[in-house]
Amino acid sequence: MGELSGLANRFDCFIFDLDGVVYRGSRPLPHAIETLKLLHAHGREVYFLTNNSGHTRQQYAEKLCRMGFTAEPEQFITSAWVTGLYLQEHLPNARVFVVGEPGLKQELEGFGFELAEEPDQCLPDAVVVGIDRQFSYQRLAQAQSAILRGARFIATNTDATYPAEDRLMPGAGAIVSAIATATGKSPVVLGKPNPAILTTFLSHHPVLMERTLLVGDRLDTDIALANLLHIPSALVLTGVAQKTDLENAPIEHLPNWVLNDLSGLLTDGVDSLLIHALPNRV
């Protein structure tokens, strides 16, 4: 088997966002699975990094397997998993009220945390907020009450939106904002661009930063994180950000490369997409 071509040949390790990069909803994006398979066949390390707290790492692995790419749970870095690590370090015996979906609850239970189902009756130590498609006024009121009575306010992420099959949907950030408004409190945010979501993982999976490429679809999370950690990055235009968003983006949100989809990693002409400077930038 010959060497990889294009940008893929420059790196030994790839860290991919999921929503808007590998798939949208239940639909794989064009060329995504084929590109992942090719990288794996050439011995590249492949990991996945997502702010979406809706599933466990096992569930994400099963989802990619159904799409045709075999991955292990250990290859996934999720905001839900990092939240469990954070609580383990800072509130090791916490009772937690979760505003989130079953995947987040299962991930936290896997760390041994007790989940508070009725926070009004017994004050939890922390309120953890993630994506919650069943979010209600009652859950907002419960979270508000617990936080105002002293529970720690923790957000898995503050993404305003996430890409579904044919549209953008409200993300966890919309729910976090509602609770922040109701309480007047700001949460501890653990997802991208907080470097903690990746540095903890990298401490157990050492890689050469200069030989690692982070690939995402959001400038304010994926690319911002890569720049904070001095990791090369590529933006794909299959999710949230579009090429016009680059025109007014701050320098700390600019990627090294812009690709139409993941097949751009394999093209010989990828150098032409390298951003050294944008027009009207000094």
| pLDDT score at 203 | 82
* pLDDT of 1: 43
Catalytic annotation, pick one of 12, 17, 166, 222: 17
- In this structure, the dihedral spanned by the alpha carbons of residues 97, 102, 103 and 104, taken in order and rounded to 10 degrees, is -10
- The residue ranges of the chain whose pLDDT is under 50 are 1, 276-282
Q: Residue 184: what pLDDT? A: 98
pTM for the whole thing?
0.92
Q: Is there a catalytic annotation at residue 271?
A: no
Q: What is the pLDDT of residue 282?
A: 40
Report yes or no: 151 and 127 within 8 Å, Cβ to Cβ: yes
Q: Does domain 6-51+193-273 have CATH number 3.40.50.920?
A: no
Active-site residue, 125 included: no
E strands, the chain, are 13-16, 23-24, 27-28, 45-50, 76-78, 95-99, 114-115, 126-129, 152-155, 161-163, 168-170, 188-189, 212-216, 233-236, 257-259
Whether the Cβ atoms of residue 240 and residue 217 lie closer than 8 Å to each other: yes
pLDDT in tens, 116-141: 989 989 999 999 999 999 999 999 99
Domains 6-51+193-273 and 91-189 equal at CATH topology level? yes
> What pLDDT score was predicted for residue 276?
44
Q: What is the pLDDT of residue 269?
A: 55
Query: Could you state, in order of their start, the residue ranges of all structural domains in the chain?
Result: 6-51+193-273, 91-189
Q: What is the pLDDT of residue 281?
A: 46
Give the CATH number of domain 91-189; options: 3.50.7.10, 3.40.50.1000, 3.60.20.10, 1.50.10.10.
3.40.50.1000
Helices (H), 111-171: 137-148
pLDDT number for residue 277: 42
In the numeric block, the tokens 């994180």 are attached to 225
- What is the model's pLDDT at position 231? 95
Cβ atoms 249, 225 nearer than 8 A: no
CA separation for the pair 79, 77 (Å, rounded): 7
Q: In whole angstroms, what is the distance from residue 266 CA to residue 46 CA? A: 15
